[in-house]
Chains A and B, each alone.
Chain A
């Protein structure tokens, strides 16, 4: 069993009568890299601000190693924040920015100098100590912000979309660097992002949030391969939703009718009955595109093909109008592998690679409604 460091229980927060967090419970383990993932307005930033002490919850408690932090002001919480726009003090040098927290602790001058130099060396900025923030690039400012937050050796580091202002390439570099820092420092990281790819690649655990409610809490693999509901499935990665209907139920398996195909699939965790409609979820990389002459599979034609370097991504229109996304790796045996538009194909998948979800009461009509982030 892992040791809980920060425990949030029944946290509720409203702004102008609108519920942003709805009695949320979450245990954050000591030393883990946990990511709060969700579209804008899902409450992830509010949750982070509650942990930092910048906002006060309407109800609920926050405890750190058993100590109640709920009413503690931010300056007395043993955790630090890396802000989205860095929030470096523009009138101070890099050194003074990083030293600020230690000066507030009234540490001896010599100790401050040593620890600041150490923190700046960790982010490879020891040669920039005398610079002012505006003389640094975005990535360097980001690293100063991280050094400033970790120099106080917090129990917990809160990171509020810290990479969102960086360009793609730099963001990838910083992702790797943050992971390395987290391993070296052994500090618990709470990371907020709306970028699902970032969440999957960096975290030990991911919390998927929507409308202030936890949709799923699990490892990146669980969240991606076994989404708890349609929202998580849609928000994390690309997904094909095939409508299915339960034909018959066996021991540990069910037969499902998908586009007229009878497939025998693993029985899901939720209760099923015969005739029940459900969703068969398939990631684009789970889709097999077959020859139109193949006996199994659903007929359709290629309407789009995108060369992605390592994969060939295609969009297939099934005969009933359903759109299917497929992502296939290039094969060494067939380097010229390609489709032409309008080419007839059949679509299938390997049994066991699908994921089943029940129908939900308040399903949105369009997938687009969820992709606001």
Chain B
């Protein structure tokens, strides 16, 4: 092994990377974990003694209900994204390379506008006197404006709108890797279209599905400004609870505990993703 002193560049890079991870990833997360097991304090936000009250509070029926409703909306968002994204990514992978690039570009363009601004734009579309209601009434299809804003549906539409690209991109990547020869081999061995879909296409695109679910489900529970703008007071996300605990209720331990539950859920999903990739092996994953 070459000594450290002989490789100053290598040393510098390693220190930088590890320093970055320690101070900006590990330390903040440890602070959150620390905060979650401390006691709420009106003056200094948190204080000793250590306890698990915050976690116990999560099982309070009130919060449990918020958590479950949030999970439900996030799951619906993920499902809608998957139902739109899967065929979209499949069709995308079948186009010519030029068109693929164009469509992916178009998919990414909205990211150049702040998502808060785009959510307000959605509000203008969905509002009682918004564009959609005006258009439908103008056409004479409805007599009274539809109540779209401040509903569960509005929150899900907003979340789907913001998160759909995160579902499509990993799915596109697995469809792009899917070798045509494998589908031919399946047909050659006597499988029709449906059997080929179930036995070959679904298992081989599963890592993309899980990656997409991961990238949509977790943010869908945290994007608090979407219910703030579109959802009214009843359609809260876990993200709203966390935000409220830190900014309004000033209950840091509880906010930290809720945040950790989200992080742990994420970790479990990532583990599942890894396992599914291992199952397919190097060829399918690479």
Residues of A bordering B, CB below 8 Å: 52-54, 73-76, 80-81, 83, 85, 87-91, 100-101, 104-105, 132-135, 148-149, 152
Contacts and interface: CB of A to CB of B under 8 A. Distances in A.
A135 B281 CA distance: 9
Contacts of A148: 189
Contact of A75 (B181, B187, B282): B187
Interface in B200-216: 200, 203-204
A132 B282 CA distance: 10
B151 to A, nearest CB: 41
A87 B191 contact: no
Nearest to A151: B189
A89 B179 CA distance: 10
B195 A104 contact: yes
Given A100-B186, A101-B190, A134 B283 contact: yes
Contacts of A74: 184, 187-188
Interface in B256-286: 279-284
Given A90-B283, A133-B283, A134-B283, A81 B185 contact: yes
A89 B186 CA distance: 9
Contacts of B191: 75, 100, 104
B190 to A, nearest CB: 4
Q: Indicate the member of B179, B199, B279 with the most A CB atoms within 10 Å.
A: B199
Contacts of A132: 281
B192 interface: yes
Contacts of B189: 75, 80, 100-101, 104, 148, 152
30 contacts: A52-B188, A54-B184, A54-B188, A73-B192, A75-B187, A75-B188, A76-B190, A80-B189, A81-B185, A81-B188, A83-B185, A85-B179, A87-B184, A88-B185, A89-B182, A89-B200, A90-B281, A90-B282, A90-B283, A90-B284, A91-B203, A91-B280, A100-B189, A104-B191, A104-B195, A133-B281, A134-B282, A134-B283, A148-B189, A152-B190
A85 B283 CA distance: 12
Contact of A100 (B179, B199, B204, B283): B199
A153 to B, nearest CB: 12
A284 to B, nearest CB: 39
A51 to B, nearest CB: 11
Nearest to B182: A87
Interface string B163-199: 0000000000000000101101111111110010001
Nearest to B199: A100
A132 B192 CA distance: 24
Interface of B: 179, 181-182, 184-192, 195, 199-200, 203-204, 279-284
A89 B187 contact: no
Q: Which 8 A-B pairs have the closest CB atoms?
A: A101-B189, A104-B190, A90-B284, A90-B283, A87-B185, A87-B181, A134-B281, A74-B187
Contacts of B282: 90, 134
Nearest to A132: B281
A41 B283 CA distance: 28
A85 B185 CA distance: 11
A62 to B, nearest CB: 15
Contacts of B187: 53-54, 73-75
Contacts of A52: 184, 188
Given A81-B185, A133-B283, A87 B190 contact: no
A149 to B, nearest CB: 8
Contacts of A73: 187, 192
B181 A105 contact: no
Contacts of B195: 104
B190 A91 contact: no
Contact of A83 (B181, B192, B281): B181
Contacts of A89: 182, 185-186, 200
Contact of B190 (A75, A134, A135): A75
Q: Indicate the member of B186, B189, B192, B279 with the most A CB atoms within 10 Å.
A: B189
Contacts of B200: 89
Contact of B281 (A75, A91, A100): A91
A88 B281 CA distance: 12
A87 B281 contact: no
A75 B192 contact: yes
A132 B199 CA distance: 16
A133 B187 CA distance: 19
Contacts of B186: 89, 100
A7 B190 CA distance: 22
A91 B279 contact: yes
Given A54-B187, A80-B189, 20 more contacts: A74-B187, A74-B188, A75-B188, A76-B190, A80-B188, A81-B184, A81-B185, A81-B188, A85-B179, A87-B181, A89-B182, A89-B185, A91-B203, A91-B284, A101-B190, A104-B195, A105-B190, A134-B281, A135-B281, A152-B190
A89 B185 CA distance: 9
A83 B184 contact: yes
A73 B184 CA distance: 11
Contacts of A135: 281
Nearest to B206: A91
Nearest to A131: B281
A85 B192 CA distance: 22
A85 B181 contact: yes
B204 A91 contact: yes
Nearest to A160: B181
A74 B189 CA distance: 8
B281 to A, nearest CB: 4
A54 B181 CA distance: 10
